[in-house]
Amino acid sequence: MADLEIIPVPTRILTDKDDIIDIVEKYAGAKIGENDVISVAESVVAITQGRIVRPEDLTISRVAQLLCRFIPDYGSLASPHGMQSLMDIEGKWRVTFALILGFLAKIIGQNGVFYKFGGEQAALIDDVTGTMPPFDKYIVYGPKDPQVVVKKLQERLGCFGAVIADVNDLKRSRIVGVTDGVDGDKVAHLLIDNPFGNASQKTPIVIIKNFKQYQG
């Protein structure tokens, strides 16, 4: 059986003028085989979709200033700008209700309730410094239609599967979009050490060679 191998793929800086499918094909297409999985960083997919906002373009409400204080300092929603960006897209009252519910749930030992009820973007928003330069000055939302994106990647590249991954240097790894037949939990585990990098590495694409055999 061929060995499993994780290969980060460097690119130039990507912007909202790029098409993520074309970019992945350009930089990784020649290296992809039929047994491989292509993985793309979720923040870069979102950037190419134009899902970004400058903090100074947000109107910060008093509610956002209050609610952000209840988020741990390392979270993207711990700043008034991060919280306001979530409220703008998911709704002020939904976010407020989810935070209250999450606080009450923690009292009885249940974690993650806020992110369950706060809307899809609650776990996906990257606050400033949360992604690669020059977009470390922007708030980046989660990608739109991730399942559509991964399906297009798989079809274009002819590989075993494709995923969009949300990975950071704090050992958090989750799969945002995954094609049928690919075990997303196994992919997330393989990416736990963040081969993408979050700074100047500019490796937003990762090839997992021979994943089909590894998955069994």
- CATH of residue 40's domain is 3.30.1330.100
Q: What is the mean pLDDT of residues 76-91?
A: 93
Task: Give the side-chain half-sphere CA count within 13 A for 65.
Answer: 5
pLDDT tens, 158-207?
999 999 999 887 788 899 999 999 999 999 999 999 888 655 557 899 99
Rounded Cα distance, 40 and 9, in Å: 10
Tokens of 58: 């947000």
Please give the tally of structural domains in the chain.
2
Give the least confident one: 60-64, 129-133, 143-147, 149-153: 129-133
pLDDT at residue number 171? 82
Give bridge partners of residue 173 from the DSSP assignment: 167
Entry pTM: 0.87
User: What range defines the domain where residue 172 resides?
Assistant: 5-51+142-215
pLDDT at residue number 33? 94
Whether residue 167 is found in the same domain as residue 199:
yes
Whether residue 33 is found in the same domain as residue 92:
no
Q: Which residues, 6+ apart, have CB-to-CB distance to 73 below 8 Å? A: none
Whether residue 47 is found in the same domain as residue 57:
no
Q: Which helix (H) or strand (E) holds 56?
A: none
Rounded Cα distance, 68 and 84, in Å: 9
34-49: buried (b, 16+ CB within 10 Å) or exposed (e) per residue?
ebbbbbbbbbbbbbbb
Whether residue 56 is found in the same domain as residue 135:
yes
Rounded Cα distance, 97 and 144, in Å: 24
Whether residue 151 is found in the same domain as residue 207:
yes
Per DSSP, 2 falls in state P
Tokens of 171: 């050992």
Whether residue 59 is found in the same domain as residue 126:
yes
Of 121, 139, 157, the one marking the end of a domain is 139
Whether residue 195 is found in the same domain as residue 135:
no
For residue 130, pLDDT over 60 is answered with no
pLDDT at residue number 127? 79
Of 123, 139, 155, the one marking the end of a domain is 139
Whether residue 93 is found in the same domain as residue 164:
no
Whether residue 149 is found in the same domain as residue 133:
no
Give 7's pLDDT tier (boundaries 50, 70, 90).
Answer: very high
pLDDT at residue number 214? 85
Whether residue 135 is found in the same domain as residue 159:
no
Closest alpha carbon to 81 in 117, 115, 44, 56: 56
For residue 113, pLDDT over 80 is answered with yes
Whether residue 47 is found in the same domain as residue 148:
yes
Rounded Cα distance, 132 and 112, in Å: 27
Whether residue 58 is found in the same domain as residue 71:
yes
Of 87, 104, 139, the one marking the end of a domain is 139
